[in-house]
Amino acid sequence: MNPHHNLKFRTERNTLKEPKSGVHMARGDFMARLSKLKHVALDMDGTIYKGGTLFPYTIDFLKKLRRLGVHYSFLTNNPSKSIDAYIKNLEKRGIEAEREEIYNSTLATIDFLKAKRPEIKKIFLLGTPSMIEEFERAGYISAKDDPRDVPDAVIVAFDMSLTYPRLCRASWWVKKGIPYFATNPDKICPTDQELILPDCASICACVETATGRKPDIVFGKPDPSMLTGIIGRNNYTPEEVAMVGDRIYTDLMTAHNAGTLGVLVLTGEATLADAKAANPPIDLVVDSIEVLGNLIEETRIFKNE
């Protein structure tokens, strides 16, 4: 039997009318689309771990991708850690990663400033020490909390070290008309703790209420640049790349904006009800990356039959 015909027959039976275990929603011939994948871009918090807890199937999933010849990278809107800190954090969880396999919204912001706003040298940052370290590593100067130390720009990020005086100073400069950027549009940060962690968008909402001003530009997902960079550097087509994450308005919109396959996992922020209400529709909704790995493996088995 022609293996491609076999694959087509099987995938037609596994659309929404006859879903596989762990698959809640799918658009069209999703198994055929998975069979084309060469690279999987993975969100981190809410997708491969949640807060301080690594999902028990994550390492096996990554090993499976390597065995199947599918490359992967880690994309996160969380700017609270430096890239080196992310590498160490992943190593502690048993995951080996290179610097080029990790891209976060801090790097997206830095890349934009270097390319489009080279006149910006001094920045007042609402961000963690690790994030500030990443900016300083890139050559930027951190402005002090002092009305005499005028910055070239204000950058607001997810800041677990946020203090009220620094929020007041950032708002002061924003009100003065200083260029104002946000690293990411996330409202909350996923956590395994019994509390809510306000993310960058929530801090920006506070600044907006105080000043009447929104950020000039919001970086990170859903901006497609992280994905289009992967596509361009590796000579992929969009059909050969998937973006996998737990948030519709960042992860899945990034996939949509870049023209890649979008896979929502129900291990973080978004619920199945959110997925059903999503516009544009989501390509694939699964319980977890474990289910996704099994589906990708199945497409390879069909190809070899």
- If asked whether residues 202 and 283 sit together in one domain, one would say no
Percent of the chain with pLDDT over 90: 71
- If asked whether residues 56 and 119 sit together in one domain, one would say no
> Do the bridges between strand 153-156 and strand 53-54 make them parallel or antiparallel, or are there none, so unpaired?
unpaired
What's the pLDDT band for 211 if we cut at 50, 70, 90?
A: very high
226-235 pLDDT, tens digit per residue, is 888 889 888 9
> Comparing 210 with 105, which gets the higher pLDDT?
210
Average pLDDT, rounded, for the chain:
90
In this prediction, residues 74-100 reach a mean pLDDT of 89
Domain end: 218, 239, 264, which one?
218
- If asked whether residues 225 and 214 sit together in one domain, one would say no
Encoded tokens for 98? 């290179």
The answer as to whether 182 is a domain residue is yes
- If asked whether residues 117 and 211 sit together in one domain, one would say yes
- If asked whether residues 240 and 282 sit together in one domain, one would say yes
The answer as to whether 169 is a domain residue is yes
What type of residue sits at position 112? F
CA angle 215, 216, 219 (to 5 degrees): 80
With 60 as the cut, is the pLDDT of residue 304 above it? no
User: Long-range contacts for 169-178 (Cβ within 8 Å, ≥24 apart)?
Assistant: 169/124, 169/145, 170/124, 170/126, 170/207, 171/206, 171/207, 171/210, 171/211, 172/147, 173/124, 174/207, 174/211, 174/213, 175/210, 175/211, 175/213, 178/124, 178/150, 178/151, 178/152, 178/153, 178/154
Domain end: 218, 245, 274, which one?
218
- If asked whether residues 205 and 226 sit together in one domain, one would say no
- DSSP three-state, residue 227: helix
The answer as to whether 17 is a domain residue is no
Domain end: 200, 218, 236, which one?
218
- If asked whether residues 206 and 142 sit together in one domain, one would say yes
Number of domains in the chain: 2
The answer as to whether 265 is a domain residue is yes
CATH code for the domain in which residue 131 is found: 3.40.50.1000
Which range marks the domain in which residue 149 is found?
112-218
The answer as to whether 19 is a domain residue is no
Burial of 105 (0-12, 13-18, 19+ CB in 10 A): buried
Give me the pLDDT at residue 14, please.
38
Chain position carrying tokens 């994905």: 227
- If asked whether residues 132 and 214 sit together in one domain, one would say yes
17-45 pLDDT, tens digit per residue, is 445 789 999 999 999 999 999 999 999 98
> Comparing 89 with 175, which gets the higher pLDDT?
175
